[in-house]
Structure 1
Amino acid sequence: MRATRTQLAGYDSMTGAKRCTQKEMILNLFHSPFMTLTRQEIADRTNLRLSSVCGRVFELLRDGELKVRGSQKCAATGADNETLGLPATI
């Protein structure tokens, strides 16, 4: 899916501090390395828009701060949703 010019302009106008705050909000949900959440669960718990969660999760995955840990079926749609969690530490 491609972002519209309006979406890109909105993202660009957001300060770096706000983006970091959203990332911190997401990371703060993971209290242990065993906890996993879907993007929708993250959006529900942080009151962030799902589109914002997806953008920040993309950045966190890219930076190695989160990992895809599996998937679960959505009860409403039957679609598989990735579950995310902290990287496993050895």
Structure 2
Amino acid sequence: MRTTHTQLAGYDSVTGAKRCTQKQMILDLFYSQHLTLTRQEIADRTNLRLSSVCGRVRDLLDDEALKVRGTQKCVATGVLNETVGLPVKDAA
């Protein structure tokens, strides 16, 4: 993945504590394993900037706290967007 100097500077400017708080805000949205949201829906519900949401969701995906659970077509643009949600536990 390529990143620009500006992207790296922006990421570094967010303190670790703020990143943890934003990640927790996002995780708190997922009260059920059945709930899936797009990044834009997360941004709308948390009042975080979409760029911040994208970064924190990537962190949560890397940590396996969230999983990509499908796609949803945007009604405004017609573009397919990933939906994320809590990992689904297999019934054993």
TM-score over 0.5 for the pair? yes
CA RMSD in angstroms, aligned pairs only: 1.3
Q: Please tell me whether residue 75 in structure 1 is matched to residue 75 in structure 2.
A: yes
Matched residue type, 2:70: G
Same amino acid, percent of matched pairs: 76
TM-score normalised to structure 1 length? 0.92
1: CA distance, partners of 2:2 / 2:49: 17
Number of residue pairs matched? 90
Q: Deviations over 1:6-43 (max 9, x none)?
A: 33212212210000000000000001110110000000
TM-score normalised to structure 2 length? 0.90
What is the CA distance between 1:2 and its match in structure 2?
4.5
Q: Residue 36 of structure 1 aligns with which residue?
A: 36
Gapped regions of structure 2 (runs ≥ 5): none
Q: Residue 5 of structure 2 aligns with which residue?
A: 5
